[in-house]
Amino acid sequence: MGKGYNGKILRVDLTEEKTWIEEPGEEIYRTYLGGAGLAAYYIIKELPKGVDPLSPDNMLVLACSVITGTPVPGASRFTAAAKSPLTGAYGEAEAGGWWGPELKWAGFDAIIIKGKASKPVYLWIKDGEVEIRDAGKIWGMETGDSQDAIKEELDEEKVRILQIGPGGEKMVRYACLINELKHANGRTGMGAVMGSKNLKAIAVRGTNKIEMDDKESAREVIRWLRENYTWQTGDMHDMGTARLTPSLSENGILPTRNFREGAFEKAYDISGEKMKDTILVKRGTCYACSVACKREVEVNEGPYTVNRKYGGPEYETVASLGSLCGIGDLAAVSKGNELCNRYTLDTISTGVSIAFAMECYENGLLTKEDTGGIDLRFGNADAMVKMVEMIGKREGLGNLLAEGVRIAAQKIGNGAEKYAVHVKGEEVPMHEPRGKRSLVLAYSLSPTGADHMEAPHDVVYEMFNSEGQHPLAPMGLVEPVDTMEMGPQKVRAFYYAKQLFDFYNCIGMCDFVGVPIGPLAINQVVKHIEAVTGWNTSLWELLKAGERSNVMMRIFNFREGLTKEDDKLPDRLHQELESGALEGERIEEDKFEEMKKTYYRMAGWDDDGYPTEAKLEELGLEWIEEFV
Amino acid sequence: MGKGYNGKILRVDLTEEKTWIEEPGEEIYRTYLGGAGLAAYYIIKELPKGVDPLSPDNMLVLACSVITGTPVPGASRFTAAAKSPLTGAYGEAEAGGWWGPELKWAGFDAIIIKGKASKPVYLWIKDGEVEIRDAGKIWGMETGDSQDAIKEELDEEKVRILQIGPGGEKMVRYACLINELKHANGRTGMGAVMGSKNLKAIAVRGTNKIEMDDKESAREVIRWLRENYTWQTGDMHDMGTARLTPSLSENGILPTRNFREGAFEKAYDISGEKMKDTILVKRGTCYACSVACKREVEVNEGPYTVNRKYGGPEYETVASLGSLCGIGDLAAVSKGNELCNRYTLDTISTGVSIAFAMECYENGLLTKEDTGGIDLRFGNADAMVKMVEMIGKREGLGNLLAEGVRIAAQKIGNGAEKYAVHVKGEEVPMHEPRGKRSLVLAYSLSPTGADHMEAPHDVVYEMFNSEGQHPLAPMGLVEPVDTMEMGPQKVRAFYYAKQLFDFYNCIGMCDFVGVPIGPLAINQVVKHIEAVTGWNTSLWELLKAGERSNVMMRIFNFREGLTKEDDKLPDRLHQELESGALEGERIEEDKFEEMKKTYYRMAGWDDDGYPTEAKLEELGLEWIEEFV
């Protein structure tokens, strides 16, 4: 078919304490690419219907892609996927860093883990060799300690470790996986799944670089991406993902006090600029990236001391632990971030859960008795930091909040659900649909629930880059679409861009590199895939792979009992914003329904939101009907 | 949006004797590209509903594309489009040669002609200047004579002339346009439309080469296409399009004796090889082509003398005037071809009409009284040649056959319709759906009726080229699909390939170059479009443009009163082949209906075959609803 891409998949059965290696063949890689697509393929085929996500029957897939480990900027991400304990639906999250590339250099494209170890274990993978090792001594450790312990035990300084902390062990429903202490597969509770399997960590060391079909062509792509890094002339490197916090607030789209408001009076205090000017000690990067947006922060005095080895807060974190909780104290937010990384908690779900609890508390649905004496008001930084720790340890109210806002609200009762800002059980991230209307579809339709990594924000459709070209021009999206637009033009832009982002999740491409770095970036990514694999492919074929992955996940969800009724938004987003430039804006139900209806039809889904037989056939997914 | 492609459109109102120039702006070119897409855009917007195709109210669009006139192999084709007098539906045909490039060099991307001249005229276009000139003296001339007369009158040896002969003047419903006496916009009667407007010819001379955005990149494409011309190691150049006639017959898919049979005992006698060994005097080419498949044949003795200036017969012609009429005499076939080019008759419709008449005659529905004494049996070469002439002059039975088989059958009555092999009134071309099953969809769904230029034959899906890659690999079609297959996999291959061919018709790319020349040809075409226009585009965007053009034509047809009931095949194709390797094969009605149903849904059409609102929105065609 092509010129010969193939890859190995490591199979792990923890119950049987067995590992083996499979080669699925080139056709599988060409059809599903890797990452999100490859994971979805195996999960829908091999995960029995209706399993408890925290039982040994669940499976965890960790998947790189055909280009992971090649030195192209932005392609360091790998996918973790399983049935989600947070949503009961498809669970998936990507993470950057070095672990994905290292896994490829160790000889594997993916790891598929089933069963449950009889006692805590970790995996040790080195250049094609695999060992299941006892983790009795490190179980219970925070991530920093366990990383040190594993490195010492293996006597390998260069080992890369993907792991869970106490939050994952205790199966906090939104526990994340973390690699190198600071790169998280954040959403949908993949850490809880790993914890449920008694699997503490996966340590990897690989020394075999990737063979590329056309090295010169790959070099051209890499050179181009490095030279054309134009994202706001380096602001992303300079100030990190939190660089825009103040302007988001000015524009009324900084989620504040549990999404009641869109502007935060202390937005600057939690901004990338403030961070840079105060606690930033180093700028970090994922493997081979030309953007290098990661932070390392350090605080040595005051109430919140912060250790730099856990990195620094992303935008999602400064907003979720900051503005969303009404907190403008960067040290407190950074401390919360550090604790999330120590315990392996998703910072978004953690922040939204705390903000939810704050609103419950202020409205009398939770009392000091419930909080263990904490005055859980918006703006109370001490309370926020304490709650992060309690969630990580499942202590007191933290044990309730560790279930996520959907379950917590059910347990609290008395109408608490109206403060629970989630879709399908997943807490809404820090991008405001009332001011960026494509997110209405992104959140309601994502198989994983409200997910910020599932489709680009409206700003991408709006943006003309420095060379005067729309960044999505290769897809025919050559005109801006207003952020507030909800008509067919917006649906179309979303439908196309969704395929692009799904494709990027299949190849592990970071959208900070793959979309806005320059007007030709998308085509450079295509060229790189050709250079690595030797395939004669095109954006056409690759976007179809993206669509394919999304459709597999959607069908998985329907199989697990979800329906179109789950394609909804939380009440909060249908209510008016109470402050800021967009005060009074809400998502009108009728416009939302119309938008969804248009999307269903555009996507080839029937009126129940189910992909039609013809759509499955178009995507070459006829086989899936056997597994539903 | 891009880096600045724009082009001029020449407007001609023959009634008012006025011409003017428009610049529609880059957005129109980027959305519709040119050729079939640009023509459809103007026709659905500007042609009033329900007009008589032969009235002054019809419009004729001649459209090049954004790459026509650049020296890339295969891109010399331009589109002629109008409401078809043959089908009453959308009419369109492409032609290669030099006229299209010359029009671009003269400064125009397209000509839109409305109204009717009060007396015969022709257009003279030279480097941006336009003149409507009297054609009184040349009206009535055969094409060779009128070409000489115009060149002499203009005193321009290098002028390129697109014109009609007596067949167009007399509005034979399948009259073609011809340029340089041998390159035809063959199908759907565009010559009759030109004749109905009293427009004899369009003479063009242009001396301004096309400015390309990135000359070096264009040069790379051109070099690549020239170096990688691998189509059966040059058979196409050596033996022309008729090279496969014997093997088609062996495989049972050479239309023979009005589609009753699939094998012809004299297939070799009308083959490209025989032509090469006997009457071929020169190999010709379209502008800048690396394939050069055109023929010049000459016969100086015997009953059929043939003048080389009218070229030589294509495969379509050797089959339609040959095997389909049971005739294995290459000189007679070549004479018929010459006459078609003199009179401007579509050779396919001409041959099918004659074969139809032969079957009527053999079955007693036509008599010697009707034929004027001609013994109109299959295999009678004299009768065939005579009938071509009579059709061109609309004499005797020729006047009836000039209406096409659908109308002729109605007029003959007595069940003649069962011998009339057409779709939507357009005669079926020389590719056998009973042995190449994607043609079942190609013929039944094409807006123009049974058209061989609307989608690739199954052989393309089947083919692995010399480098072991599927030629449609960039579209994800990486595995062969059996020619006889009618299941979803075939529908998908057809659906994708249809978009490719529609895209090629928008940019004037010949499928002999753009598809099989090598495994990377499709991507080279994309690269060339980028090089010429400066756009940052992709196969994704360009295939959407292809789909857009097809959808516009389909909506035009529905507006003009067609329904899904017109998506049918002639009875003959549901009957068993009576000879050859596929004897007994027929198109089963139920499989056909199932295939269509799958296609409708895959294409985003509703159960009535009408593109859904969401599909229109996806393609950016919301505006069209105003014009239906």
Q: Which of A489, A539, A618 lies at the smallest CB-CB distance from B539? A: A539
* Rg of the Cα atoms in chain B: 22
Cβ burial B224-260 (10 Å sphere, 16+ → b, else e): bbeebbebeeeebbbbbbbbbbbebbebbbbbbbbbb
Cβ of A536 and B474 within 8 Å? yes
A495 occurs within a structural domain: yes
**Mean of the pLDDT values across residues A466-484?**
83
> Where does a domain end: B427, B461, B482?
B427
Looking at the fold, whether A410 and A495 belong to one and the same domain comes out as no
| pLDDT computed for residue B454 by the predictor | 80
Q: For residue A513, what pLDDT band results from cuts at 50, 70 and 90?
A: confident
* The pLDDT of residue A367 is above 80: yes
| pLDDT computed for residue A463 by the predictor | 67
**Mean of the pLDDT values across residues B191-209?**
98
Q: Which of A478, A540, A613 lies at the smallest CB-CB distance from B475? A: A540
- Residue A582 carries which DSSP code? T
Closest alpha carbon within chain B to A600: B614
Q: What is the pLDDT of residues A153-162, one digit of tens each?
A: 999 999 999 9
| CB B353, CB B363: distance < 8 Å | no
- C-alpha distance from residue B217 to each of A246, B224, B302, B432, B540 (Å): 44, 11, 52, 40, 20
Cβ of A474 and B538 within 8 Å? yes
Closest Cα of chain B to A446: distance in Å?
20
Alpha-carbon distance A183 to A341, whole Å? 9
Cβ of A492 and B618 within 8 Å? yes
| CB B380, CB B368: distance < 8 Å | no
Alpha-carbon distance A81 to A94, whole Å? 9
- Mutation to test the A interface, candidates B515, B538, B613, B619, most A Cβ within 10 Å: B538
> Where does a domain end: A205, A220, A244?
A205
Closest Cα of chain A to B210: distance in Å?
23
Nearest 5°: CA angle at B344, between B341 and B346? Answer: 90
Closest alpha carbon within chain A to B469: A1
Closest Cα of chain B to A601: distance in Å?
6
Predicted ipTM of the assembly: 0.95
Q: What is the pLDDT of residues A31-68, one digit of tens each?
A: 999 999 999 999 999 999 999 999 999 999 999 999 99
| pLDDT computed for residue A457 by the predictor | 79
Cβ of A614 and B620 within 8 Å? no
- Mutation to test the B interface, candidates A602, A606, A613, A622, most B Cβ within 10 Å: A602
Q: Which amino acid is at B181?
A: L
Closest Cα of chain A to B460: distance in Å?
15
B211 occurs within a structural domain: no
Looking at the fold, whether B387 and B486 belong to one and the same domain comes out as no
A294 φ, ψ to 5°? -75, 155
Kindly list the residues of chain A whose beta carbon comes within 8 Å of any beta carbon in chain B: 1-2, 27, 30, 469-470, 473-476, 478-479, 488-489, 491-492, 495, 519-520, 522-523, 526, 535-541, 543-545, 598, 600-602, 604, 612-615, 617-618, 620, 622
Q: What is the pLDDT of residues B425-440, one digit of tens each?
A: 999 999 999 999 999 9
Q: What is the pLDDT of residues A89-145, one digit of tens each?
A: 999 999 999 999 999 999 999 999 999 999 999 999 999 999 999 999 999 999 999
Closest Cα of chain B to A541: distance in Å?
5
Nearest 5°: CA angle at B144, between B270 and B59? Answer: 95
* The pLDDT of residue A464 is above 90: no
CA A102 to chain centre: 20
pTM of this prediction?
Answer: 0.96
| pLDDT computed for residue B514 by the predictor | 78
| CB A499, CB A546: distance < 8 Å | yes
Give the residue from A109, A114, A128, A113 showing the smallest Cα distance to A29: A109
Closest alpha carbon within chain B to A471: B536
| CB B522, CB B539: distance < 8 Å | yes
Q: Which of A2, A30, A614 lies at the smallest CB-CB distance from B601? A: A614
Closest alpha carbon within chain B to A493: B618
| CB A236, CB A152: distance < 8 Å | no
Alpha-carbon distance A40 to A26, whole Å? 17
The single residue listed with the structure tokens 């029937």 is A606
**Mean of the pLDDT values across residues A292-316?**
97
> Tokens standing for B430?
């020389």
| CB A483, CB A436: distance < 8 Å | yes
A566 occurs within a structural domain: yes
Cβ of A538 and B539 within 8 Å? yes
Give the residue from A107, A49, A47, A105 showing the smallest Cα distance to A81: A47
CATH number of the domain residue B620 falls in: 1.10.599.10
Closest Cα of chain A to B287: distance in Å?
28
Closest alpha carbon within chain B to A468: B1
| pLDDT computed for residue B336 by the predictor | 98
Looking at the fold, whether A469 and A573 belong to one and the same domain comes out as yes
Give the residue from B224, B5, B202 showing the smallest Cα distance to B117: B202
Alpha-carbon distance A238 to A446, whole Å? 31
* The pLDDT of residue B161 is above 70: yes
| pLDDT computed for residue A263 by the predictor | 98
Looking at the fold, whether A369 and A250 belong to one and the same domain comes out as yes
Closest alpha carbon within chain A to B494: A618
Looking at the fold, whether B264 and B403 belong to one and the same domain comes out as yes
> Where does a domain end: A382, A401, A427?
A427
* The pLDDT of residue B516 is above 70: no
The mean predicted confidence, pLDDT, of chain A is 95
| CB A540, CB B474: distance < 8 Å | yes
The single residue listed with the structure tokens 């009953």 is B303
* The pLDDT of residue B43 is above 50: yes
A359 half-sphere exposure, CB direction, 13 A CA radius: 25
* The pLDDT of residue B47 is above 50: yes
Looking at the fold, whether A418 and A445 belong to one and the same domain comes out as no
B216 occurs within a structural domain: no
Q: For residue B3, what pLDDT band results from cuts at 50, 70 and 90?
A: low
Q: How many domains does chain A have?
A: 3
The single residue listed with the structure tokens 């003479």 is B203
| pLDDT computed for residue B227 by the predictor | 85
Chain A residues with CB under 8 Å of B538 CB are 474-475, 522-523, 526, 538-540
Looking at the fold, whether A262 and A377 belong to one and the same domain comes out as yes
Q: What is the helix (H) or strand (E) element at residue A317, kind and residue range?
A: helix A315-317
CATH number of the domain residue A30 falls in: 3.60.9.10
> Tokens standing for B337?
């071809």
**Mean of the pLDDT values across residues A506-513?**
91
- Rounded to 10 deg, the angle between the A381-393 and A347-362 helix axes is 120
* The pLDDT of residue B458 is above 90: no
Cβ of B617 and A492 within 8 Å? yes
A540 occurs within a structural domain: yes
| pLDDT computed for residue B228 by the predictor | 81
Other Cβ atoms within 10 Å of A247 Cβ, number = 12
**Mean of the pLDDT values across residues B92-103?**
98
* Number of residues that make up chain B: 628
CATH number of the domain residue A308 falls in: 1.10.569.10
Chain B residues with CB under 8 Å of A620 CB are 476, 489, 492
| CB A537, CB B474: distance < 8 Å | yes
Cβ of A615 and B602 within 8 Å? yes
| CB B381, CB B327: distance < 8 Å | yes
Concatenating the DSSP letter of every residue in B23-36 gives ---HHHHHHH-BHH
- C-alpha distance from residue B133 to each of A479, B109, B394 (Å): 43, 21, 27
B541 occurs within a structural domain: yes
Looking at the fold, whether B193 and B249 belong to one and the same domain comes out as no
Q: For residue A1, what pLDDT band results from cuts at 50, 70 and 90?
A: very low
| pLDDT computed for residue B463 by the predictor | 67
A575 occurs within a structural domain: yes
Looking at the fold, whether A317 and A244 belong to one and the same domain comes out as yes
Looking at the fold, whether A190 and A339 belong to one and the same domain comes out as no
Nearest 5°: CA angle at B221, between B216 and B224? Answer: 120
Count of pairs with CB atoms under 8 A, one residue in A, one in B: 131
Q: What is the pLDDT of residues B225-283, one digit of tens each?
A: 888 876 656 788 999 999 999 999 999 999 999 999 999 999 999 999 999 999 999 99
Looking at the fold, whether A617 and A500 belong to one and the same domain comes out as yes
Express as a percent the part of chain B with pLDDT over 90: 90
Q: Which amino acid is at B393?
A: K
A294 occurs within a structural domain: yes
Provide the residue range defining the domain that includes B180.
Answer: 9-205
Closest alpha carbon within chain A to B26: A478
Looking at the fold, whether B48 and B129 belong to one and the same domain comes out as yes
| CB B476, CB B2: distance < 8 Å | no
